[in-house]
Structure 1
Amino acid sequence: MMRLVLLSVISVFLLVDYAKAELICYRWTEEDIKTMGPSRTIETERNHCEGVLGHTYTETFVECGECSCCQQVLVCHDWTEEDDKAMGSSRSNEDEKKYCESVLGYTWTQGDNAKYPECGLCYCCKPKS
């Protein structure tokens, strides 16, 4: 009974968090299609979308338009005074990466935002809500 309640609470939390994030269609690249193979199945696509790419797979097409693999829209997180203070003035790229991912829970891209064009040239990207 305790496990069921805990799972229910976690499920509700995930649904609420999911609803806040803006999702867009992820278009399969030639590399994705090659990796999934010529006889790919829904399960193959789901595993690739969620397991390899870290996106959200849906069969209803409601969440992000006309495709089944949806990715969050990420935008730039500009360092705040609080962030600067927490990381210190002599911080390294590695310090910023750890802070972005571990403290803020955001995505560190180090400026390689081909998958997240709305994040611009930023290194630390957060979900658009």
Structure 2
Amino acid sequence: MSKKKQCAASCTMEAEYVALAVAVNEAKWLTMMSEELGLKERLQMPVVMLCDSQAAIKFASNRNEKTRTRHIDIVYHVARDAVQSRTVSIAYVHSNRNVADALTKGLRPAAQKNALELFNMKSREIRGE
């Protein structure tokens, strides 16, 4: 599910951090739902989130706010709080291994082929009639 963000991000790190906060909220909801369904013992905690922005990962893992990032709305610090409480762990994934890029970006042919392989899909040529 995709939703339009209600704020304009001033840099890539901020955009990734906001997206991470949205994902953390989804993970929290899914965790609570799983617990209510009696699946708590099947949950792997902490929930591992993959992010291709090392700056966003560092910002989420660091409690000390920098002057340049004080403008980030406090509602997005849910990611930082989840990392601190160890309910979420954020791991770096290199862009060429990030399957989400195939769904969110226009890719060059080689990158598209790589993305299809990550999805275990094969390219199929469509021939004109």
Common fold: TM-score over 0.5: no
Name the TM tier (shorter chain): under 0.3
Structure with the larger helix share: 2
Q: What TM-score does the superposition give when structure 2 sets the normalisation length?
A: 0.28
Structure with the larger strand share: 1
Q: What TM-score does the superposition give when structure 1 sets the normalisation length?
A: 0.28
